[in-house]
Structure 1
Amino acid sequence: MIGKIHKQMSHDSWLFSKMATPEYTPFVFLLLLFQSSVWGVPSCHATKPGMLNVHLVPHTHDDVGWLKTVDQYFYGDRNDIQHAGVQYILDSVVDQLLKNPDRRFIYVETAFFYRWWKQQTDDMQNTVKQLVNEGRLEFVNGGWCMSDEATTHYSAVIDQMTMGLRFLNDTFGHCGRPRVAWHIDPFGHAREHASMFAQMGYDGFFFGRLDYQDRNRRMVAREQEMLWRASESLTPPMADLFTGILPNGYNPPEGFCWDQSCDDPPIRDDPDLEDYNVDDVVTRFLHIAHGQALVYKTNHIIMTMGSDFQYENANLWYKNLDKLIRYVNQMQSNGSEVNVLYSTPSCYLQELHRANLTWPLKGDDFFPYADSAHDFWTGYFTSRPALKRYERISNSYLQTCKQLEVLGGPISRKGPFGAGDSETLKKAMAVAQHHDAVSGTEKQHVANDYARKLANGWAHCQVLVSNTLSSLSGSSAPRVYCEHLNISVCPLTETSKKFSVNVYNPLARPVSWPVRLPVNGTAYSISDAKGKAVDSQVVLSVVPVSQLLFQVQAPPLGYSTYSVSLLQNGPPSPPSPLPRAPKAVQNKVWVFIVTLRDFLSYLFCVCLSRYNASDGNNSESIQMSGAYIFRPNTSTPFIISKTAKIETLQEVRQWFSPWVSQVVRLYTDSRALELEWTVGPVPIGDDLGKEVISRLDSSINSSGVFYTDSNGREVLQRRKDYRPTWNLRQSEPIAGNYYPINSRAYIKDDKDQLTVVTDRSQGGGSIQDGSLEIMLHRRLLYDDVRGVGEPLNETSDIYPEGLVVRGRHLLSLSPPATAADTHRPLAQEVVLQPLITFTDGELHPSTRLEVRERFSGLQAVLPPAVHLLTVSQWDQDTVLLRLEHQYQASESKEHSQPVTVNLQKLFSTLDVLGVSEMNLSANQWKDEMTRLDWKAESGTHHTGVTNQLCLLSPLGRMKTADLL
């Protein structure tokens, strides 16, 4: 069976059936594709031609954690924080839908619905299925949560969408499959999200937030509904997505909120009462409807009737909506041309499609988002950096856990170390994608709860991983997990005289990875799986602990084991005093020259600086910096120290202040320079919040342009003080030029490209030509009045004086023509990093068979252009596989070409028996997918890219031939 990826940046996925070799249990695989889906016509009320049709959409927006935890929101606990109980919302809505067949309701967050569903009786479940089948209850979006779009990685987004959509598919079938993506609350919108939604089969996408200047322009031009061309590599219409901007964010029109949390008066329709108000309500509604129609393109408009955690008493809403529809429509007998109806987003979208119009085309994204002149929502790109890192490494661990679940078979779930599972971590990771989770915009106790759920998921996966590694290696030795290696803590390596290091690589190509282990000895001997000696070094760390440093090699989708033995006890000798002459740390690629002023004379300098946060005491605006909003009180960063204390070994250590330090490392033959930064506790004794940045100043002539990734996939061009779709009036020269950096950013000129790969999502910009700055940490003393209600002032039991955060930036310097060949695999290694486990003493075989110290799940390395995105158990006999072409068109002369993959010869231990192609989210068969076609206006494709990428071939997916 041969698969060919015909287009750049395409994603291919399959369901496979597989046959086991004598050593392994049989499985089945699923093959899937990043692509499209079928349009099924929902049960929609008839509209009236020639009239203004107003689509009322009853809905609730239920955050999967924000001011309260997920559990507290579901049960209605801690109403002293916020009155909200999701279980009561669903109870009440179902009850009210049954009372009037005209009524409609949409629901979004599958994480909550799944929990509610499990608690229902068979009779209630059958009732809900009937409501869904009749189109009276409609699911939109359908992911486990409504994910953030700035700080999420595409692989985690796909996972959480797949989880939610699979539950709806399995539970309700075709009628439960969402047809519309619905991101009404995220704080800016990523192009890659639109591309994924299109490839998941959605016919449209609606959201509520966009920059106030952009909205004003679109209202005047009647361009609030458009066709979003969400990829420059995929052939239209594969990544085209109809996109609509909702008129009131996601709230009802002013004066028409009838929830128990609202203060608007109900419709009082008894004419004998003194406060009868029907005429006033109808007049106001008609005025609002006509006004809204002026800024949209068709005779159909949409109104969201609901808001945060509304409909706990659904009778209040529906009783008034019934009256509103009746009394407004009665005016048609007096010549009114307004027709009001209960509707859903898919019914509204269907009417827009029937209009058969052409729509403006958009090619960039919706970042950054500002809701007024000095209020840029760019701070959350970095908020809660420790949680952002934990989420990222949890994603890596989840992919490893899912792979080993497949490679290990049933023994992985019930093996020598007990019962393990991947589902717990899947759900925790899915919740973490929520737009008030990894974004860092939740209350502190909620952030703690997200981290707790991830830790619980890790614990379940650790049992599974131990079972599989024991089975594959033939060793019964218990596995030890050192989860605090980033702060040089691992009790086993610090005390044991002999131990083994197992390195599992989740990538489909071999990796070379530096391992740094805390130890208490002076010298160690290390041997690889073949018994060959490995070079190593013991060095003093920034913390008062010695570190054992050596390089490991791990095969694709497999592991390698290294044996470590203590040769000599005691700490290493301290370094000799630093000479006054400049020092150089270099390898074959880099020359890193350090002067006493801590500048790098090779093309750029690295400066750790900070902004003082605005406290709102400003003549231009009272806006403060907070969890959401970044607003420094000056446009010039403060240098933390003009000089730094420096030590040079095989690495350079820089102390800029007691709370800011950095280690610069070069590894043999590495094309990357590693900057390990440590920031905190950020001092606040001067009553000023602070936002710490790393600034890279170079001689590159970037001409005000830099580039950032979109959710870790395609790269977009950014230009200082510029927006591709409107004439920007810049009011915040720093915050207004910050963009999300999910995995990498770069600047370039004709000769050089400087790329920074990040280990978590961060915010950054290019404020000066030749410069990149990335925000590392934020500690703030004021709430920014966007709802969270507390300042971003993180502390913990370990760090009561303020949170300390450590992270890494990898710098790559290459000619622009070949830069992608370096930074793409580099970013991939950081996102899917090897999992390191330990065993104490010798590896003992669990049977008479020899211990297998090296293993690969693949027969051969995948081509560099192909990334193995997903290997996951689907059901007892089926496995989900996703492969993707990861290069953009024209990005790489060598790797942007189509690639052929032999699927039958992919795995080393599994024989493929059958394959079925599905869409990206695995909720529809590929050959059943159809999507609505939309016509774009000519000459309206705005893009920030000056040199358009050329498509090298028709956009492709992976094609599969018949099984041999």
Structure 2
Amino acid sequence: VECSYFKILLVGKALNSCHATKPGMLNVHLVPHTHDDVGWLKTVDQYFYGDRNDIQHAGVQYILDSVVDQLLKNPDRRFIYVETAFFYRWWKQQTDDMQNTVKQLVNEGRLEFVNGGWCMSDEATTHYSAVIDQMTMGLRFLNDTFGHCGRPRVAWHIDPFGHAREHASMFAQMGYDGFFFGRLDYQDRNRRMVAREQEMLWRASESLTPPMADLFTGILPNGYNPPEGFCWDQSCDDPPIRDDPDLEDYNVDDVVTRFLHIAHGQALVYKTNHIIMTMGSDFQYENANLWYKNLDKLIRYVNQMQSNGSEVNVLYSTPSCYLQELHRVNLTWPLKGDDFFPYADSAHDFWTGYFTSRPALKRYERISNSYLQTCKQLEVLGGPISRKGPFGAGDSETLKKAMAVAQHHDAVSGTEKQHVANDYARKLANGWAHCQVLVSNTLSSLSGSSAPRVYCEHLNISVCPLTETSKKFSVNVYNPLARPVSWPVRLPVNGTAYIPHSIPTPPQVVPVSQATAAVRRGRGYAVNELLFQVQAPPLGYSTYSVSLLQNGPPSPPSPLPRAPTAVQNKVWVLWYNASDGNNSESIQMSGAYIFRPNTSTPFIISKTAKIETLQNSVVQEVRQWFSPWVSQVVRLYTDSRALELEWTVGPVPIGDDLGKEVISRLDSSINSSGVFYTDSNGREVLQRRKDYRPTWNLRQSEPIAGNYYPINSRAYIKDDKDQLTVVTDRSQGGGSIQDGSLEIMLHRRLLYDDVRGVGEPLNETSDIYPEGLVVRGRHLLSLSPPAMAADTHRPLAQEFSSLPLSQPYWRRFKFSGLQAVLPPAVHLLTVSQWDQDTVLLRLEHQYQASESKEHSQPVTVNLQKLFSTLDMLGVSEMNLSANQWKDEMTRLDWKAESGTHHTGVTNQLCLLSPLGCVKTADLL
């Protein structure tokens, strides 16, 4: 069945599935919808089934049951659905007859999918690689199930807490015609309402030639809720429309009058004679009859007023139908080039705390993304035996789904209840287990050895039972990048001398630090670490055999020349006292969402630190203890391009009844003039200026929290001579509060809820750390001239987010999946099995325009000579989300207001394949 919805967008005619609007009237587009969090107060499973209604009454399966039933009762009705993770579960449980019925509703445009990702992802704390994966998973299911009729044309992020420019760029490259969201800073909204600039053209990349990353963007009038007084869900208290004049409390006249007043008021702050109203909210439509019965009446009675001179026309609509009408008006739109961070909903309520909230979960999500890419690559390189081999049945799907759910804006963001955070981690761990079987099968096939393999998942705290107890073992180091990697490996051991074979630099044995021994809590007993530099080929692995030479006590640390007993440091660890709401200016507390320090001056944990130093042929290391709950290791590896800072924070003490927000502050002599730079979802970098917003005159009311931004992979300050760059191992919040200084928030432990819905303080504990969570992480620091900085921090950021997989096992081998190393400017973003004979490949030009004199230029890659184990028979180019052929992707054209354009430069990849040169117009 051909869907009229798709046909009209190609030929430019009216949407057959859209209700007719009336020229010369104010057309009010009512959009029935539900917003279904993929976990928040309840787990994703509990939300789907309607379990634990004592926490929150919500059951997604009943919403879909009820909506489909009600759509069938009136062909005028419309509904949109967003979260494919839930719809996928529901769909699997339906009969063939019901599935055919739903397909018909989709074909007729009565049920429309918007956004279509597995979830509605967070925009501040997600990495672009994981966002692309979760969008691809959801959109592929819709494609496979409904064909082009089910392909969303509108991105819909009505709940995330601020909006990233890179997300808009990705949506544009995925073929979306527009983007709608609900939350933006209250000052920004006020200015836009007065100027009637709540709908705009977002130019979402400085590197892509317009309109490649241009995206029409609209701000919804009521967040994602209905207008006040017009909520008719079972969870609402608004009165229904009582339209029998023979009964008491007849209220049609009152309802119509109030609605007309709201519609005219909304029209004053938008630009056209079309306005949109979201009729729904969190987990609504479980009893869809309540909504539709009242909406039917509302439409009928308001439109009847046209006979009395009313110029308001109300209709059932969808975001795509509304967008089509805006496009028809053929206006010019204001142009935006920055992003929508930070977000505040009032003067002292900046939602910048969640940039760091739940730092352990944020790190687990990031390394899980790295492991998923490894798992998908080895699934391709290993072929069918990877999924069913000597170690049993393995799969990548389990981790794909767990990672997709983790991108939700109440998952990796850290804004969920504790039991839900635990569930996200459990799902990731289950995904790891399935991938470990797949990886073992592939490595067994490639090496010819079915010897058992052991995965050491706690090397960051020097725990690995095999290396602690064995006199001989081998280590696989897998490199998922498309260039060789040299990386230090640290393995917990109890001997004092070892021989790793085929290592150019002699290995070293160093004692485990006191901080590491303390944080393990009995999970390991190694007294030493075996430290050596490994080299792994691109898209491949190296194996190193290790033999014990000597047992004995740990070697004492080797002192550095004239090492002091204490050091003063330009790297400070400090903490802000979190507001408890007892403040004359505002009662707002710090919580999972909100960062609000009680003072602008952080507390210094200690100006001096107890130290221990060591130096050998592999590393120079200074171990610092600032307090019983804060320590730091400063490392410089031989031939390294960066200094490594390993920080350990926790249990954060709260015996003084003070919540604490712990930061690392780097002070320098750089004259940064109030300017610093942060990445957007790990991709392009944006300039930030203290106490400043590019699109409105900021009235700053929180000098610390109001200057914090999300840092997903890197941040830097610079002047004409120097650039100080920090690469992070997870998403964190940070800012440049003082010139020449960068501060990054490491950990948060708070005693109050911030009244944004989660209903509990961010006070994490665990069975292992009942007195408070301990978190360990790393930063990489580089200092170089600005012209050379990108060539250092870009590769570092890629390596840091794609860490090699180290795995002890019993055989020696070396393998590379590539015939040729990719150029430095090109990143192998995706290698994934698509179907039996097809592989999904994404190559990424990873340098911004003008970022690097050498590497920001166009690059040519020969695909036919790229892989060592795959036969390249042909290549067909798809859009970024792989749900549409690139040459068939058409998007609506929008005109920007004059004088607001700036020219982008396309960093092209020319892919030489058996089909000739396929030029990709975009970066990804």
Same fold by TM (over 0.5)?
yes
Q: 1:587 offset after TM fit, Å?
A: 19
Paired with 1:760 and 1:415, the residues of 2 have a C-alpha distance of 34
Shift of 1:272: 1.1
TM-superposed CA distance for 1:911, in Å, is 1.5
Paired with 1:519 and 1:847, the residues of 2 have a C-alpha distance of 17
Contact 1:578 1:648 in 2 (8 A): yes
Number of the residue aligned with 1:537: 504
Is 1:281 the counterpart of 2:281? The answer is: no
Deviation at 1:955, TM superposition (A): 22
Deviations 1:611-636 (A, max 9, x none): 01000000000000000000000000
Compared CA separation, residues 704 and 724, structure 1 to 2 (3 A) = same
TM superposition shift of 1:939:
2.6
Call closer, same or farther: CA 1:255–1:950 in 2, change over 3 Å: farther
CA distance in 2 between partners of 1:578 and 1:756 (Å): 26
Q: CA deviation at 1:476?
A: 1.5
Contact 2:511 2:557 in 1 (8 A): no
Corresponding residue number in structure 2 for 1:450: 424
Over 3 Å counting, the alpha-carbon distance change for 1:956 and 1:81 in structure 2 is: farther
Structure 1 distance, partners of 2:547, 2:755, is 57
Rate the CA distance shift 1:132–1:794 in 2: closer, same or farther, 3 A: same
| CA shift for structure 1 position 573 | 2.4
Using a 3 Å threshold, how does the CA distance of structure 1 residues 244 and 30 change in structure 2: closer, same or farther? Answer: closer
Distance (whole Å) between structure 1 residues aligned to residue 166 and residue 489 of structure 2 = 33
- Report the more deviating stretch, 575-584 or 74-83: 575-584
SS of match in other structure, 1:910: coil
Shift of 1:572: 2.1
Structure 1 residues 131, 383: closer, same or farther in 2, change over 3 A? same
* Partners of 1:109 and 1:143 within 8 A in 2: yes
Contact 2:243 2:250 in 1 (8 A): yes
Is the contact made by 2:631 and 2:649 (CA closer than 8 Å) also made in structure 1?
A: yes
Measured in 1, the distance between the counterparts of 2:910 and 2:441 equals 48
Distance 1:696-1:494 versus aligned 2 partners, 3 A rule: same
How far apart are 1:475 and its partner, in Å?
1.3
Call closer, same or farther: CA 1:42–1:901 in 2, change over 3 Å: farther
Kindly state the Cα deviation for residue 357 of structure 1 after the two structures are TM-superposed: 0.2
Q: 1:298 — aligned with what?
A: 272
Conserved? CA contact 2:367–2:801, under 8 Å: yes
Q: Is the 8 A contact 1:165 1:921 kept in 2?
A: yes
Query: Is the Cα contact below 8 Å between 2:201 and 2:894 reproduced in 1?
Result: yes
**8 Å Cα contact 2:827/2:843 also seen in 1:** yes
Give how far 1:574 is off.
Answer: 2.3
CA-to-aligned-CA distance 1:458-488 (integer Å, 9 cap, x gap)? 0000000000001111112111001111111
Cα displacement string for residues 796-815 of structure 1 (whole angstroms, at most 9, x for unaligned residues): 00000000000000001111
Matched position secondary structure for 1:280: helix
Equivalent position to 1:907, from 867, 882, 889: 867
> What is the TM-score when the length of structure 2 is the normalising length?
0.92
Q: Distance in 2 between matches of 1:919 and 1:111?
A: 22
Q: Structure 1 residues 846, 700: closer, same or farther in 2, change over 3 A?
A: closer
CA deviations 1:603-657 (Å, max 9, x no partner) are: xxxxxxxx01000000000000000000000000100011110111130011010
After TM superposition, what 4+ stretches of structure 1 lie above 4 angstroms from structure 2?
29-38, 535-544, 576-590, 843-848, 941-958, 960-964
Contact (CA 8 Å) 1:188, 1:368: kept in 2 or not?
A: yes
Secondary structure, aligned partner of 1:517 = strand
| Gap change, CA 1:400 and 1:240, over 3 Å in 2 | same
Q: State how 1:403-482 maps to structure 2 within 5 Å.
A: 403-482=377-456
Distance 2:621 2:643 in 1: 10
CA separation of 1:211/1:942 partners in 2, compared to 1, >3 Å: closer, same or farther?
A: farther
Q: How far 1:228 sits from its partner (Å)?
A: 0.1
CA distance 1:36–1:370, shift in 2 (3 Å): farther
Counterpart check, 1:134 vs 2:128:
no
Deviation at 1:104, TM superposition (A): 0.1
The answer as to whether partners of 1:614 and 1:623 remain within 8 angstroms in 2 is yes
Corresponding residue number in structure 2 for 1:951: 911
Distance 1:34 1:349, change over 3 A: closer
SS of equivalent residue, structure 1 residue 957: strand
Distance in 2 (alpha carbons) for counterparts of 1:962 and 1:153 = 18
| Partner-residue secondary structure (3-state), 2:548 | strand
Check conservation: 1:59, 1:105, Cα contact below 8 A. yes
The residue correspondences of 1:529-568 to structure 2 (distance < 5 A) are: 545=512, 548-568=530-550
| CA distance 1:333–1:622, change in 2 (3 Å) | same
What is the DSSP-based 3-state SS (H/G/I as helix, E as strand, rest coil) of the residue aligned with 2:193? Answer: helix
CA displacement at 1:927 relative to structure 2 = 1.0
Q: Is the 8 A contact 1:364 1:942 kept in 2?
A: no
2:484·2:538 contact (CA, 8 Å) conserved in 1? yes
Structure 2 CA distance for partners of 1:636 and 1:946, relative to 1, 3 Å = farther
Equivalences, count? 894
Whether 1:626 and 2:586 are equivalent positions in the alignment is: no
Partner Cα distance (1:641, 1:537) in 2? 41
Q: Is the 8 A contact 1:52 1:337 kept in 2?
A: yes
Relative to structure 1, the CA distance from residue 963 to residue 715 in structure 2 (aligned partners, 3 Å threshold; closer, same or farther) is closer
Q: 1:920 to 1:483 in 2, by over 3 A?
A: same
Deviations 1:685-711 (A, max 9, x none): 000100000000000000000000000
Partner Cα separation in structure 2 for residue 654 and residue 767 of structure 1: 25
* Pair 1:249–1:546, CA change in 2 (3 A): closer
1:297 is paired with a residue of what secondary structure? coil
- Using the TM superposition, give the Cα deviation of residue 941 of structure 1 relative to its aligned residue in structure 2, in angstroms: 5.8
The residue number in structure 2 matching 1:607 is none
Cα distance change on mapping 1:98 and 1:946 into 2, 3 Å: closer
2:139 touches 2:881 (CA, 8 Å); kept in 1?
A: yes
- Residues in 1 aligned to 2:650 and 2:597: alpha-carbon distance in whole angstroms: 19
Runs of 5+ in structure 1 lacking a partner? Answer: 1-28, 525-534, 591-610, 836-842
CA distance in 1, matches of 2:277, 2:610: 60
Confirm or deny: 8 A CA contact 2:579 2:598 kept in the other structure.
yes
CA contact (8 A) 1:154 1:712 kept: yes
Q: Report the Cα distance in structure 2 between the residues aligned to 1:426 and 1:274, rounded to whole angstroms.
A: 56
Deviations 1:542-596 (A, max 9, x none): 9984891100000000000001111110232223678865599999999xxxxxx
Render the CA deviation track for 1:883-915: whole Å, top value 9, x for unaligned: 011101110000000000001001011120111
Residues 255 and 946 (structure 1), Cα distance of their counterparts in 2 relative to 1, 3 Å cut: farther
Evaluate the alpha carbon distance shift between residue 893 and residue 415 of structure 1 in structure 2; reply closer, same or farther with a 3 A threshold.
same
Name structure 2 gaps, 5 residues minimum: 515-529, 615-619
The CA distance in 2 between the partners of 1:59 and 1:215, in whole Å, is 23
- Answer with 643-652 or 387-396: which moved more: 643-652
Please tell me whether the aligned partners of residues 87 and 116 of structure 1 are also in contact (alpha carbons under 8 angstroms): yes
Q: Is contact 1:378–1:630 with CA below 8 Å preserved after alignment?
A: yes
Relative distance call for 1:951 and 1:424 in structure 2 (3 A) is closer
Q: Would you say the 8 A contact 2:845–2:909 is kept in 1?
A: no
Distance of 2:580 and 2:745 partners within structure 1: 19
Q: What whole-Å deviation, never above 9, does each CA across 1:429-458 have from its counterpart, x for those lacking one?
A: 000000000000000000000000000000
Is the 1:42–1:346 contact (alpha carbons within 8 Å) kept by the matching residues of 2?
no
The CA RMSD measured in Å over matched residues stands at 4.5
Secondary structure at 2:416's aligned position in 1?
A: coil
Q: Is the 8 A contact 2:911 2:919 kept in 1?
A: no
- Partners of 2:475 and 2:809 within 8 A in 1: no
Identity among equivalent positions (%) equals 96
Q: 1:950: how far off?
A: 20
Distance 2:807 2:269 in 1: 73
Using CA pairs below 8 Å that are at least 6 residues apart, which structure has the higher relative contact order? 1
Instruction: Give the drift of 1:387.
Output: 0.1
Write out per-residue CA displacement over residues 179-205 of structure 1, whole angstroms, 9 at most, x where no aligned residue. Answer: 000000000000000000000000000
Distance 1:397 1:340 in 2: 50
Cα distance change, pair 167–667 in 1 and its aligned pair in 2 (3 A): same
Distance in structure 2 (CA, Å) of the matches to 1:445 and 1:820: 41
**Conserved 8 A contact 1:329-1:338:** yes
Contact 1:889/1:950 (CA < 8 Å) preserved in 2? no
**Whole-Å separation in 2 of the counterparts to 1:695 and 1:35:** 57
The range that moved more, 419-428 or 942-951, is: 942-951
CA–CA distance in structure 2, aligned partners of residues 963 and 197 of structure 1 = 13
Contact preservation (8 Å) 2:85, 2:405: yes
Equivalent residue number for residue 254 of structure 1: 228
Q: Structure 1 residues 100 and 844, CA, compared in 2 at 3 Å: closer, same or farther?
A: closer
Going from structure 1 to structure 2, the CA distance change for 1:302 and 1:961 (only over 3 Å counts) comes to closer
- Is 1:846–2:805 an aligned residue pair? no
CA separation in 2, counterparts of 1:686 and 1:845?
45
CA distance in 2, matches of 1:952, 1:370: 48
Residues of 1 paired with 2:10 and 2:605: CA distance? 46
